[in-house]
Amino acid sequence: MNSVFKGRQQLWVYGLMIPGLIVFLLFGIVPTAASLVISLTDYLGIPGVPVHFVGLANYVTLFINNLPSMKQSIEDTLMFAGGVTIFQNLIGLGLAYVLSKRFPAVGFFRTLVFLPAVLGVTIIGLTWSLLLSPSGGPGASLLGLFGTSSSFFGSNTWAMPLVIFVQIWANLGFTTVVYIAGINTVPRDFLEAAKIDGLSEWASFWRVTFPLIAPALTVNLTLAAAGSLRTYDIIYVLTDGVHNTNTLGMYMFNTAFQGSGNLGLGAAIGIIQFVLTVIVVLALQRYLTRREEAMS
């Protein structure tokens, strides 16, 4: 509170904060608070239609009238988030272990894996849609060599695994960078000692390196879980939520903005998604911090 700026200058200090605070209030606080309120109304996307408070009617619709869709959507969400979280971390960890060593072109490989992070969902989604176009193209040609074919993103069986693959492909660079940073903090002496004790490469990784990078694991698992529970833009580009890829985010988006558009119902799905995300992420964090404590 002891500002070196006095009088008129101090007025400037306060005054310049106002525009930022207005933006924060209007586009940060108000929408966050309004989500819950809107979910209790029958707000439609069409301007001019009167809005009524309907209590929990939207939630009743979702959990009673539309229970099968809701169940399917929660299943899809957990499948997507689970698949992404587990495999992104397994692959990222392995990749980081190798890419943390020195060998020719290692910097190039790191750069390459990180590249999708700047390309954005449209470019990433369209690239994979083109590569895996069912009617021709590289993916189809490749499968043709084995005498089979697939409709890829248009297949009920393959759409979800492929969507998970693309999401991992896009975010693997980040996970890897975090793991590399973790691995670089492991003291060389520890690894030398393990070597002298005759531990194999594999054993020394699991018994020395892995416990020491617990913080990186916590960060990566939490971020992958939280991100994949919320994201839906990549799914929007690849499948638009059909073929068993209707995660809660996608369900919310299509309910609110596709066709006639039911904003109240969409907001309710958004709240359910938020609650699910918070529960999963908090449980995961609790488990991971306990694990970290047990290890240190």
Partner 1 sequence: MSATRTRTWLWGALIVGLAVMIFYFGPLVFLANMSLQSQQQFLTNATAFPHPVVWSNFLQAWRQASMGQYFVNSIVYTFVPTLVALAFSVFLAFPVSRGYVRGARQLRTILTSGLFFPVAIIPLFIESRYLHLYNNRPGYMILHIQDAMVFGFFLFVGYFRTIPRELDESAVIDGCNYLRYLVTIVTPLAKPAFITMGIYAGIQIWNDLIGPVVFLSTPSLFPLSRGLFAFYGSYQSDWTLLAAGVIIAAAPLIVAFIFLQRYFIEGATAGAIKL
Is the CB of 68 or the CB of 202 nearer to partner 1? 202
Cα 55 to Cα 108: distance, rounded to the nearest angstrom: 56
Is the CB of 55 or the CB of 138 nearer to partner 1? 138
For residues 167 and 84, the answer to whether their CB atoms sit within 8 Å is yes
- Interior CA angle at 60 toward 55 and 63, to 5°? 145
**Rounded to the nearest whole angstrom, what is the least distance from the CB of residue 204 to partner 1 in the complex?**
11
Is the CB of 12 or the CB of 206 nearer to partner 1? 12
**Rounded to the nearest whole angstrom, what is the least distance from the CB of residue 224 to partner 1 in the complex?**
11
Is the CB of 91 or the CB of 294 nearer to partner 1? 91
**Rounded to the nearest whole angstrom, what is the least distance from the CB of residue 48 to partner 1 in the complex?**
11
Read off the DSSP letter of residue 70: H
Is the CB of 195 or the CB of 294 nearer to partner 1? 195
Cα 163 to Cα 239: distance, rounded to the nearest angstrom: 8
**Rounded to the nearest whole angstrom, what is the least distance from the CB of residue 41 to partner 1 in the complex?**
10
**Rounded to the nearest whole angstrom, what is the least distance from the CB of residue 296 to partner 1 in the complex?**
21
Number of C-beta neighbours around residue 85 at 10 A: 25
Structure tokens at 235: 């799914």
**Rounded to the nearest whole angstrom, what is the least distance from the CB of residue 185 to partner 1 in the complex?**
14
Helices (H), the chain: 8-24, 30-38, 57-60, 67-99, 106-114, 116-131, 138-145, 159-184, 188-196, 201-204, 210-212, 214-230, 233-238, 248-257, 263-295
Read off the DSSP letter of residue 63: I
Is the CB of 70 or the CB of 265 nearer to partner 1? 265
Angle between the 116-131 and 159-184 helix axes, to the nearest 10 degrees? 150
Is the CB of 59 or the CB of 174 nearer to partner 1? 174
Structure tokens at 77: 């969400």
**Rounded to the nearest whole angstrom, what is the least distance from the CB of residue 269 to partner 1 in the complex?**
9
